[in-house]
Chain A
Amino acid sequence: MDRTFHMSERRLPDGLILDLKGDLTREAEGPLLHDDHWQEVLMKPGFCLVLNFTEVSYINSAGIACLIRLTRAVASRSCHTFAYGLTPHYQKLFRMVGLTEHLMIYPDEISVLGRIEALSD
């Protein structure tokens, strides 16, 4: 089974969805943090970054450090970060490290999109 980290993007009217796939470890640092495209998209305050974890089955502490850096960067632009598709275990880890103070977790994509729509109204 290929566990290599991959990432693809889907544009939204007010943001971007990143579909994450594979293991979220130190290897994810390059795609997640040094990809200029999402940084260009999220130049507008109030835009939203949505992380889809549906196809991520392993996240370690180095991967969590990448996510903290990502959410910090997004928050510094007055943008919002959302996540969905996380298992209860990883939701627990995110709470333990304080990620949930900067990243709002939803059960699925429909719920996130509903929230983003409400924010833009």
Chain B
Amino acid sequence: MIRHSWSIASILGQEAALADDLLQRIAPVIDSQPRLEEIHTAVTEACLNAMEHGNRFDARKKVRVSLGVSDKAIVIRIGDEGEGCPLGDAAPLAADRAAIWKLDNPRGWGIGFIRSFSDRVRTGYDEHGFYVELHFLLPCKRVNGGCQGG
């Protein structure tokens, strides 16, 4: 069982260093570099949303990240100090694409990346505030003709 937690200030750039560290910790259970990079992108984008929309880039406010790895899944919870904004049933990235391209500042890709690369996304509130929880299923391991994990 792998467990770890981080707390970073709402300062741009902190999310990349955190995700780099997180990837090193989960690398032993994921032998696919493309999948690791997808998780990196999902985590950094969730942290950026927490900094911007949750904490309004107030450097005094923290983004909390916790990691839990079981034999079935990697679960990463990203929390902020804001009011929270459930992601809802956002449309797939391709459906949003044309609309975003028409914007003067064509932003809004982060949620699409998070949804595309996570197997499950949950939102909720814990004792600290709002969180987004990303689930990444682990492939099942064949043991004695059966399936472990996944």
Contacts and interface: CB of A to CB of B under 8 A. Distances in A.
A108 B15 CA distance: 30
B34 A89 contact: yes
Contacts of B106: 65, 68-69
Taking residues whose C-beta sits less than 8 angstroms from the other chain, chain A's interface range is 20 to 34
A23 B105 CA distance: 19
A61 B93 contact: no
Contacts of B109: 61, 64-65, 96-97
Interface in B76-126: 93-94, 97, 100-101, 105-110, 112-113, 116
Contacts of A87: 37
Interface string B15-38: 110000000000000000010011
A98 interface: yes
A13 interface: no
Contact of A96 (B13, B34, B113): B113
Interface in B49-98: 93-94, 97
Interface of B: 12-13, 15-16, 34, 37-38, 41, 44-45, 48, 93-94, 97, 100-101, 105-110, 112-113, 116
Interface of A: 3, 23, 25-27, 58, 60-62, 64-65, 68-69, 72, 87-89, 92-93, 96-98
5 contacts: A58-B16, A60-B48, A62-B48, A65-B105, A96-B93
